[in-house]
Structure 1
């Protein structure tokens, strides 16, 4: 009788262990969305979409910038808008567009940075693979359609195009503001500067610890989505990661630096650009 009792206990223990093992095997763990994915998810929020007024039409024709193609690690090619330095230099600035895509506004701003910074190569990336939106609804769809592996391949391809000796600075607005920081992380030891205009910050302290440079952030206090709470958390996370954040906040709204945006704030833009230019000139000597 005692043997039967012990055998029953043994069988019950084996069954319990098998059941727990099966549950552990089949249980799906969930991970928090990345910073860029989290920002892209905002496009499903009607309030976020409606907070972006449709842009004013803007036309820009450059005599020095040109469209280029380069290979990406995923076996495809990427598009970009390039302004080559007048003299050979290893200084590069990667510019990343807002959620409307690589449009004339971004090309114009890229050329302005090129002219004001001096001898630097500027490459405005195209994370939408040629697609451009002229209204907020289509912009939201394009932003949501971005696949992180493809975006990372485009960025890595641009870094490879610049070369192993290139010193990489990045700058972006809105959607591109978040990707500016991600590009700096991808650039590793080649990274020398990072400028974010009201973009979603990276929240992982472990990732922020790997930054090879400090960051300049231009944020809007009236922004309901990349709000002051998120910015304060970013500042704290950078401090915990042992990295420097040059934080500038303005009494303006999301998208304040875009002259094609009806809520464009000229004074905040002027101040932010002055800080940005001084920072980049120091980093890209």
Structure 2
């Protein structure tokens, strides 16, 4: 009798266990996409966006022309060109902030053009004609810019300058990151690279391929491209056997943009002199 009861109880427990709802395993949330570019994740961060007030309205009415050039992906891209007054194989590629190729960048390009003398200056349009006037628009444009398209535009600009061109690059914020990437793509044509508070490339193997030194201009109060990030970049450049000169100002992110409320006139003017002298020495005859 006891054996029958035990057997019956065992069968009951087995049936009960079978009928009970199974415990669901936690399903990891899939990552729907990888970042479109190295600053894409930062672009969607409200704290990073808060570092950029909407730019003041500014209209550029100086010299220069929009030009088109082909890109390796079978498309075309454009840029704002200030052609050297005398034939020259020296080029400065100018890379925009996250706003796009707006009139402020065109003005910056003209300023360097006038001071460098006999250097072709091309401000590259990295958004294919789109320009943001609000931080919300800029967030969308920068976060959705595809890495392969950005690289193709840069390669197209380098090819437009020509195989004999001696090239230096400069950029701010998003463009600071692009300036460094451009220098890597330029190979032996690279003669100089200035990056204003842009996210540095941290891949040591990629940095090893640089054929130029780098001038990095940053702000100690920058909560986006932090001093810790800059220190890491310096360490990685040392590991790569490359030279970087860093100038850290007691200023915020985008301190050199006159259309930004955090514009620091004294720091911006000093940084410009530093950048100009660097570029003159690298693009000298």
**TM-score normalised by structure 1 residue count:** 0.86
Is 2:116 the partner of 1:117?
A: yes
1:51 CA drift (Å): 2.0
1:37 CA drift (Å): 2.5
Q: Deviations over 1:140-192 (max 9, x none)?
A: 10001111111111111111111100011000000000000000001111111
Q: Which residue of 1 aligns with 2:58?
A: 58
Measure the CA separation in 1 of the matches of 2:206 and 2:75: 27
Q: Which residue of 1 aligns with 2:273?
A: 274
Measure the CA separation in 2 of the matches of 1:68 and 1:255: 28
Measure the CA separation in 2 of the matches of 1:157 and 1:103: 20
1:69 CA drift (Å): 0.5
Report matched runs for 1:133-282 at 5 Å: 133-282=132-281
1:56 CA drift (Å): 0.7
Q: Which residue of 1 aligns with 2:45?
A: 45
Q: Deviations over 1:193-219 (max 9, x none)?
A: 000000000001111111000000000
Range 36-45 or range 171-180, more displaced: 36-45
SS of the residue aligned with 2:39? Answer: helix
Q: Which residue of 1 aligns with 2:27?
A: none
Measure the CA separation in 1 of the matches of 2:157 and 2:259: 27
Measure the CA separation in 2 of the matches of 1:51 and 1:92: 31
Measure the CA separation in 2 of the matches of 1:42 and 1:151: 17
SS of the residue aligned with 1:171? Answer: strand
Measure the CA separation in 2 of the matches of 1:47 and 1:143: 15
Measure the CA separation in 1 of the matches of 2:75 and 2:228: 39
Range 42-51 or range 84-93, more displaced: 42-51
Give 5+ residue unaligned stretches, structure 2: 1-30
CA RMSD of aligned residues (A): 1.3
SS of the residue aligned with 1:37? Answer: coil
Give 5+ residue unaligned stretches, structure 1: 1-29
Number of paired residues? 252
Q: Which residue of 2 aligns with 1:15?
A: none
1:269 CA drift (Å): 0.3
**TM-score normalised by structure 2 residue count:** 0.86
Measure the CA separation in 2 of the matches of 1:135 and 1:177: 20
Structure with bigger gyration radius: 2
> Which 4+ residue blocks in structure 1 deviate beyond 2 angstroms?
none
More helix by share: 1
SS of the residue aligned with 1:235? Answer: helix
Measure the CA separation in 1 of the matches of 2:109 and 2:43: 26
SS of the residue aligned with 1:181? Answer: helix
Report matched runs for 1:92-131 at 5 Å: 92-131=91-130
Q: Which residue of 2 aligns with 1:11?
A: none
Is 2:89 the partner of 1:90?
A: yes
SS of the residue aligned with 1:252? Answer: coil
1:74 CA drift (Å): 0.8
